[in-house]
């Protein structure tokens, strides 16, 4: 007898039970509906999204530390790690500058603020001060000093990723220097801690649909959909400019690595939708790190480039800041010369680097830019208060894709990318974890069972097995071949 075909309700129920993408999609739609129909109730659901983000943030610092330490120790070459860092900074500067220029060109061509004729004195600047909490962007000296840890545990307690990266580099270098003779059990212990953290991430990800539901309900309930009509021209321009920048990223990725950005988008579709729903790229960093490693990028490249990009490569924010600056100038009737617009790019190249993790950082950067020009009233940034939250989706997608492309590009540049494994993984042909057995190639990442990242998944995920206690005399004994693909 031919096998019975499950009924449609059963297939839908199975998809909702096993697919994170389907669950988040449903939560997204429900959040919008609840926010529109019951706005007063919806605004009270924000803690669902905030709570999820807090849980994810608790594992980001230890995860980055473990990945970087293991990556340095197994690569066995601290100089190579330094080269990766330098190449990453070069890529970040080129990408963020390109985003700034695209934003300025788009704003000049379309003129989203022309004809508004806003009187700056009529704007409520107190709302901007409330949003920014009276803070300020760090100077270059402050930024460099803040990147240096004051205490080992303090860097983890305060979730300072740059400080954690520096500590990880020091620990990885010490492991290379001492070798197995003096610290035979440290590296296996760090690797086991890494597996535990990934298991915790798996547990937390079960709450992702609730987080998306709460965040979207709060957004729609608090801001409504009317702002879309008021700022339609600006919103459309920002999203079109972001699409153009993503197209350039796709061309760059294809040229440098031969990989397809569209296939990569399909590969991280759950993480992308979750980032959109929660308006946070931090909420998906652990899963994206795991997937990049599974797609052939070496541990040390992923561990350094991706977290550093969260501070140095905010492409979406760069687009928004350049367009926002010209929008404000046009709205208050200020015509910026070419020299002033070049000044905008130069100022934003500096201010955008210190934005990560600072409340209201976009308004602080815009205020700093307006003050440096001297032609735009600093209080005019209040014009963007009503639309800023709507731009989060554009910023999140562009930032995340920009950093992922940077990982692939820098890995390829340094010879730390397994192209064959990357192509197989993006084509859905990579090795499946035991808990994913029996599922289609396109569904291998939908499982939420954390055990899939453990023993059987180690080779496919790029998680190395614990190192046995073999005595050695030389630092080079820490070197191991990269895990076999698939």
Residue 310 parent element (H or E): helix 299-312
Q: What pLDDT, in 10s, does the model give residues 420-473? A: 999 999 988 754 443 333 333 334 443 333 333 333 333 333 333 444 443 343
If one compares 327 and 377, the residue with the highest pLDDT of the two is 327
Are 360 and 127 within 8 A, CB to CB?
Answer: no
* Main-chain dihedrals φ then ψ at residue 231, nearest 5 degrees: -110, 30
Taking residues 257-279, what's their average pLDDT?
A: 89
Any bridge partners for residue 297, and if so which?
417
Q: What is the pLDDT of residue 28?
A: 84
Query: What is residue 449's predicted lDDT score, i.e. its pLDDT?
Result: 38
Output the pLDDT for position 442: 37
In order, the DSSP letters of 77-118 are: -HHHHHHHHHHHHHHHHHHHHHHHHHHHHHHHHH-TTTT---
Contacts of 28 (CB under 8 A, 6+ apart): 212, 213, 216, 273, 276, 277
pLDDT digits (tens, 9 = 90+) for 163-196: 888 898 888 888 888 876 788 888 889 989 989 9
What percent of the chain is modeled with pLDDT above 70? Answer: 77
* Lookup: tokens for 73: 């120790």
Q: How confident is the model at residue 407 (pLDDT cuts 50, 70, 90)?
A: very high
The stretch 339-343 carries a mean pLDDT of: 85
Two structure tokens written together for 229: 């009509």
pLDDT at res. 457: 37
What are the distances in angstroms from CA 70 to CA 102, 112, 188, 309, 429? 38, 49, 9, 20, 26
Q: For residue 158, list its beta bridge partners.
A: none
Helix (H, G, I), strand (E, B) or coil at 412: helix
Q: How confident is the model at residue 359 (pLDDT cuts 50, 70, 90)?
A: low
More confident residue, 206 or 367: 206
| Residue 200 three-state SS | helix
Structure confidence by residue, pLDDT tens digits, 84-102: 889 999 999 999 999 999 9
The three-class DSSP label of residue 297 is strand
C-alpha dihedral sign at 182, 185, 186, 191: positive
The yes-or-no verdict on residue 245 having pLDDT over 50 is yes
Is residue 224 predicted with pLDDT exceeding 60? yes
**Of 325-329, 367-371, 418-422, minimum mean pLDDT range:** 367-371
Distance between CA atoms of residues 61 and 58, nearest Å: 7
pLDDT at 129: 60
pLDDT band at residue 133 using 50, 70 and 90 as cut-offs: low
224 contact partners, CB below 8 Å, separation of at least 6? 39
């Amino acid at each position: 007898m031919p096998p019975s075909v499950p009924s449609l309700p059963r297939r839908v129920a199975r998809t909702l039970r096993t697919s994170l993408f389907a669950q988040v999609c449903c939560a997204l739609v429900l959040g919008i509906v609840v926010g529109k129909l019951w706005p007063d109730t919806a605004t009270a659901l924000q803690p669902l999204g905030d709570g999820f983000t807090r849980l994810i943030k608790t594992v980001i610092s230890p995860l980055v530390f473990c990945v970087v330490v293991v990556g340095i120790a197994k690569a066995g070459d601290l100089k190579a790690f330094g080269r990766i860092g330098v190449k990453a900074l070069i890529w970040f500067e080129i990408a963020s500058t390109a985003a700034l220029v695209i934003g300025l060109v788009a704003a000049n061509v379309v003129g989203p603020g022309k004809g508004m004729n806003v009187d700056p004195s009529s704007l409520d600047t107190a709302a901007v001060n409330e949003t920014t909490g009276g803070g300020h962007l760090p100077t270059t000296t402050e930024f460099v000093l803040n990147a240096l840890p004051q205490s080992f545990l303090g860097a983890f307690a305060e979730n300072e990723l740059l400080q954690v990266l520096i500590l990880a580099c020091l620990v990885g270098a010490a492991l290379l220097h001492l070798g197995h003779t003096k610290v035979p059990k440290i590296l296996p212990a760090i690797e086991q801690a890494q597996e535990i953290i990934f298991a915790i991430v798996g547990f937390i990800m079960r709450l992702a649909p609730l987080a998306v539901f709460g965040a979207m309900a709060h957004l729609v309930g608090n801001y409504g959909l009317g702002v879309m009509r008021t700022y339609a021209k600006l919103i459309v321009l920002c999203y079109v400019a972001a699409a153009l920048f993503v197209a350039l990223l796709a061309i760059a990725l294809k040229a440098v690595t031969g990989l397809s950005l569209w296939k990569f988008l399909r590969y991280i579709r759950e993480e992308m939708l979750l980032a959109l729903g929660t308006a946070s790229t931090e909420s998906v960093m652990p899963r994206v790190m795991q997937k990049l490693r599974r797609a052939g990028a070496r541990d040390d490249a992923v561990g350094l480039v991706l977290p550093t990009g969260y501070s140095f490569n905010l492409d979406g924010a760069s687009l928004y800041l350049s367009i926002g600056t010209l929008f404000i100038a046009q709205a208050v009737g200020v015509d910026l010369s070419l020299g002033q617009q070049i000044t905008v790019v130069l100022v934003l190249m500096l201010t955008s680097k210190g934005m990560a993790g600072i409340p209201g950082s976009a308004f602080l950067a815009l205020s700093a830019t307006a003050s440096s020009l001297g032609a735009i009233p600093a209080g005019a940034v209040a014009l963007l208060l009503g639309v800023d939250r709507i731009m989060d989706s554009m910023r999140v997608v562009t930032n995340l894709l920009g950093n992922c492309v940077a990982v692939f590009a820098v890995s390829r540049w340094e010879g730390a990318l397994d192209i064959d494994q990357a192509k197989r993984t993006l084509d859905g042909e990579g090795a499946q974890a035991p808990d994913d057995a029996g599922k289609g190639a396109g569904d291998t990442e939908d499982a939420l069972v954390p055990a899939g990242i453990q023993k059987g998944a180690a080779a496919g995920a790029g998680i190395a097995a614990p190192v046995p206690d073999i005595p050695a005399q030389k630092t080079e004994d820490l070197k191991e071949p990269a895990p076999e693909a698939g």
